[in-house]
């Protein structure tokens, strides 16, 4: 009897921390990865499997996940426009961490006009928000990712004070790993300075600034509507004028269309996988996607 009680007490003690673990829901896999590293758990991700945070539509199961969350983590209305209303509807039922407001995050303005064609992103800055035209791809800067990690630790510590020291230690370990990633990316991308490239959607600004890349603009071509012969000619002229070495599409993008755009120019086509559909979720996901992007960039640009 006494032994049984001791075992039962032991089991309750073992189970208690697990039961108290805050339920975390993140908006997309790169943030799920950072939250996994800091929490030591496997948080949920609303967007997954190669979906785009720009165009995602909420499913009923996503709404249920949000309602059961203790902590919801997103960049903010400048990036995941689809989450703006669902998060507002949550009211005070969950703590919401808007990472674009985290201390120490470097933010850049959205580019538009000139060589930067408006890309039809569902940016939420039409409703008179505090943010004005901020480029939401700030997670593609490892230093911002470290700031995100510390903000996630602070938010988790408010919900689960008993484990505050562990969250802080995890965030610092993450920051150390991110410093190594930053050094690796800097070394890998340094030889690409002065090699112009064009992207199909303006997603790389944070990496360009951090690592001294040489962007020549963005091209908006809707996969649903083939560009006219006139428009194709204008795009080819732009590629020639800027001496563009590579035009980068994304994995979900129609590769035939990309080849049509560069046809008759000296540019090559490449693919930038910043969604990481094939990369498993979890703490390593962020690092794999970032290293993959550096590889995508250098495998196309270093030939030129
Ligand atoms: Zn994007």
Do 268 and 240 share a structural domain? yes
Please list all protein residues whose beta carbon sits less than 5 angstroms from ligand 1, which is an ion: 203
Do 265 and 126 share a structural domain? no
pLDDT of 139 over the 70 cut: yes
CA of 243 to the centre of ligand 1 (A): 24
Do 203 and 151 share a structural domain? no
227-267 pLDDT, tens digit each: 888 888 988 999 999 999 999 998 877 788 888 889 999 99
173-220 pLDDT, tens digit each: 999 999 999 999 999 999 999 999 999 888 899 999 999 999 999 887
Q: Which of 136, 185, 167, 126 is nearest to 30 (CA)?
A: 136
Do 221 and 181 share a structural domain? no
CA of 202 to the centre of ligand 1 (A): 7
Final residue of a domain: which of 163, 185, 207? 185
Final residue of a domain: which of 147, 170, 185? 185
CA of 190 to the centre of ligand 1 (A): 23
**What whole-number distance in Å separates Cα of residue 203 and Cα of residue 247?**
13
pLDDT score for 36: 98
CA of 78 to the centre of ligand 1 (A): 11
CA of 2 to the centre of ligand 1 (A): 61
64-73 pLDDT, tens digit each: 999 999 999 9
45-81 pLDDT, tens digit each: 999 988 888 889 999 999 999 999 999 999 999 899 9
More confident residue, 274 or 146: 146
pLDDT score for 1: 47
- Number of Cβ within 10 Å of residue 50's Cβ equals 15
Give the structural domain span for 253: 189-301
Q: How many domains does the chain have?
A: 2
CA of 253 to the centre of ligand 1 (A): 13
CA of 83 to the centre of ligand 1 (A): 15
CA of 203 to the centre of ligand 1 (A): 5
CA of 137 to the centre of ligand 1 (A): 6
CA of 238 to the centre of ligand 1 (A): 22
**What whole-number distance in Å separates Cα of residue 113 and Cα of residue 133?**
13
pLDDT score for 12: 52
Do 257 and 126 share a structural domain? no
Question: Mean of the pLDDT values across residues 122-131?
Answer: 41
**pLDDT tier at 125, thresholds 50, 70, 90:** very low
Question: Mean of the pLDDT values across residues 138-144?
Answer: 97
Share above pLDDT 70 across residues of the chain, in percent, rounded to a whole number = 87
CA of 55 to the centre of ligand 1 (A): 10
- Number of Cβ within 10 Å of residue 17's Cβ equals 12
CA of 7 to the centre of ligand 1 (A): 52
Angle at 118 between CA 276 and CA 303, to 5 degrees: 50
263: CATH: 3.40.50.1980
pLDDT score for 275: 87
Do 159 and 205 share a structural domain? no
CA of 10 to the centre of ligand 1 (A): 49
pLDDT score for 74: 98
- The whole-chain average pLDDT of the chain stands at 88
pLDDT score for 2: 58
CA of 40 to the centre of ligand 1 (A): 27
pLDDT score for 5: 58
pLDDT score for 6: 64
Do 130 and 246 share a structural domain? no
Query: Which pair of structure tokens corresponds to residue 198?
Result: 């064009």
pLDDT score for 14: 52
Do 37 and 75 share a structural domain? yes
Do 234 and 292 share a structural domain? yes
CA of 201 to the centre of ligand 1 (A): 6
Do 122 and 202 share a structural domain? no
pLDDT score for 131: 42
**What whole-number distance in Å separates Cα of residue 220 and Cα of residue 270?**
16
Do 233 and 175 share a structural domain? no
Final residue of a domain: which of 158, 185, 212? 185
Do 172 and 34 share a structural domain? yes
Question: Mean of the pLDDT values across residues 117-135?
Answer: 54
């Amino acid at each position: 009897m006494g032994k049984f009680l001791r075992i039962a007490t032991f089991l309750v003690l073992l189970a208690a921390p697990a039961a108290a673990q805050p339920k975390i829901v993140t908006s997309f896999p790169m943030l799920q990865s950072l939250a996994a590293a800091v929490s030591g758990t496997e948080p949920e991700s609303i967007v997954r499997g190669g979906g785009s945070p720009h165009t995602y539509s909420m499913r009923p199961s996503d709404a249920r996940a949000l309602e059961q969350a203790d902590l919801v983590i997103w960049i903010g209305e400048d990036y995941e426009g689809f989450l703006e209303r669902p998060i507002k509807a949550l009211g005070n039922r969950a703590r919401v961490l808007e990472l674009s407001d985290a201390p120490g995050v470097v933010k850049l303005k959205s580019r538009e006009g000139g060589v930067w064609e408006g890309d039809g992103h569902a940016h939420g800055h039409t409703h008179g928000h505090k943010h004005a035209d901020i480029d939401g791809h700030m997670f593609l800067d490892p230093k911002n990712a470290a700031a995100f990690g510390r903000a996630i630790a602070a938010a988790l510590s408010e919900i689960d004070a008993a484990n505050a020291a562990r969250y802080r230690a995890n965030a610092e370990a993450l920051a150390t790993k991110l410093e190594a990633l930053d050094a690796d990316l800097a070394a890998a991308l340094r030889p690409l300075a002065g090699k112009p490239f064009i992207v199909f959607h303006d997603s790389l600004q944070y990496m360009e600034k951090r690592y001294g890349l040489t962007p020549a603009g963005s091209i908006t071509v809707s996969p649903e509507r083939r560009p006219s012969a006139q428009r194709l000619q204008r795009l080819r002229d732009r590629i020639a004028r800027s001496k563009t070495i590579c035009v980068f599409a994304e994995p979900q993008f129609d590769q035939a269309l990309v080849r049509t755009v560069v046809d008759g120019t000296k540019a090559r086509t490449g693919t930038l996988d910043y969604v990481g559909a094939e990369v498993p979720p979890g703490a390593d996901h962020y690092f794999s996607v970032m290293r993959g992007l550096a590889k995508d960039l250098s495998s196309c640009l270093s030939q030129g």
